[in-house]
Amino acid sequence: MSQTITLYVDGACRGNPGLGGWGAYIITETEEHKLCGGEPETTNNRMELTAAIEGIRFCPADASLIMWTDSSYVQKGITEWIHGWKKKNWKDVKNPDLWKELDALCQGRQIEWNWIKGHAGHAGNEMADQLANLGADKTQAQMQTDSKKKSEPDWLLDDPFGLDLTDTDDSAESEIPEDIEEQDEISEVLSADAEETSETNPSVAAHPHIVITPARTDLSGPRQLILDTETTGFYFQDTDRIIEVGAIEMINRKLTGSSIHIYINPEKPVGDSEAIHGITDDFLKDKPKYAEISDVLFDYLKGAEIIAHNATFDMNFLDMEFRRAGLQALSEVCEVTDTLAMAKSKHPGQKNSLDALVRRYEIPQRDRTFHGALLDAEILSDVYLAMTGGQVLLDIDASSSEENNGSGHRRQVEIELPVILPSADELEAHENWVKQYEEKHGEPCFFAK
């Protein structure tokens, strides 16, 4: 059976045209891949197309792909407009080279194209956006390096016999090999994103297998973490262990873009649970043990309200693992909300699994051939918002401008409402009805007392 792969793709451009970058965040059934690149002179549309092309090219030809892009240009172009472009032999079509390449890559593949609102706090889309900007940063660094090489004089041409060399004491910097200087410059750019994340949360760099995405929006209020775990079995008392943790952050009913995702070596075989989550012993063998990541995970989770589906299951395992690592039980430092209990109260006698709630609330479908902690957390965030009154506005720019303009305050509207008086016939009919009510029930109606 071919695997299903989810891709989030995005492009970025600093000036249009200008320096640009593309990013593809690829989630397979067992791992994640992050691709990025860029061009010194390009457009935003070309980078969005390139991200889709490179993402698809990376995936096996027999895989079923679920594509997510915040570009209507790409999504509608490949699913609707391209048929007309082909009929008119690509006449007057912009970026025909990339469209032809994308079209050729899609032939014979099973691809589902989806649009997602950009900069709305969705973890997958935010990661693709970060990768696109990182691709632009790397391209800019390479441009600076190339420019530096061209500007340096060739001493063999200017002074072939070495007669005019400057004093060696004044040229100590020249003893540093050029290639090391270049590597340092590139390393600074590549680590810029990690440094920004570390400033937000100093524990991020504690282990290479811990993926913490920093918040993209500055919101104030109590933290809610929509959380899910995958385990080797159902019984925390019977030596079953956690193998995956995923959580996404929400403040004031808005996703901030911050998330944490960790795969963990359970120090025991996965067993039959592999059929549920698809995570193999071979995949987990090089992952950290719980004790190695417990401090970072505890720091990220503590103090927040944990929202989970069948939260008792997740919290029992987390409490057990943290105690085993010498820390407090998570339930002692977090408030816990169980969406399964909420659903049973709201829909008694009905199926209330996560899949059932997705169908009931018409949440956009995602592939769940295998359960994944971060994917299930994303789905649960949609379900939770739907169960608790619907999702609020996620357009951060619009909401912040409203606050700045003071339009968020309730205004008094002065409207003179017309008064319509009953006619004589209507008054007579009303009196007859009141009398008939009293005769029938033996007492006057409420508004006649």
What whole-number distance in Å separates Cα of residue 334 and Cα of residue 241?
21
Q: Is 167 annotated as a binding residue?
A: no
8: nearest Cα among 158, 120, 155, 168:
120
Q: Is 175 annotated as a binding residue?
A: no
Q: Is 184 annotated as a binding residue?
A: no
Residue 199, classified by CB atoms within 10 Å of its CB into exposed (0-12), middle (13-18) or buried (19+), is exposed
Q: Is 97 annotated as a binding residue?
A: no
| Cβ(38)–Cβ(63) below 8 Å | no
Out of 119, 207, 209, 371, the active site residue is 371
| Cβ(231)–Cβ(135) below 8 Å | no
Map residue 217 onto helix, strand or coil: coil
124: nearest Cα among 18, 51, 229:
51
Q: Is 426 annotated as a binding residue?
A: no
Decide if 207 is catalytic. no
What whole-number distance in Å separates Cα of residue 265 and Cα of residue 257?
27
Helices (H), 59-203: 72-76, 82-87, 96-106, 123-151, 155-158, 178-190, 192-200
Map residue 125 onto helix, strand or coil: helix
Q: Is 92 annotated as a binding residue?
A: no
What whole-number distance in Å separates Cα of residue 51 and Cα of residue 128?
9
Q: Is 230 annotated as a binding residue?
A: yes
| Cβ(241)–Cβ(290) below 8 Å | yes
| Cβ(394)–Cβ(255) below 8 Å | yes
Phi, psi of 421 (to 5 degrees): -90, 150
Residues placed in the known binding site for Mg(2+): 10, 48, 70, 129
Residues placed in the known binding site for substrate: 228, 230, 277, 376
Residues placed in the known binding site for a divalent metal cation: 228, 230, 376
Residues placed in the known binding site: 10, 48, 70, 129, 228, 230, 277, 376
Give catalytic residue positions: 371
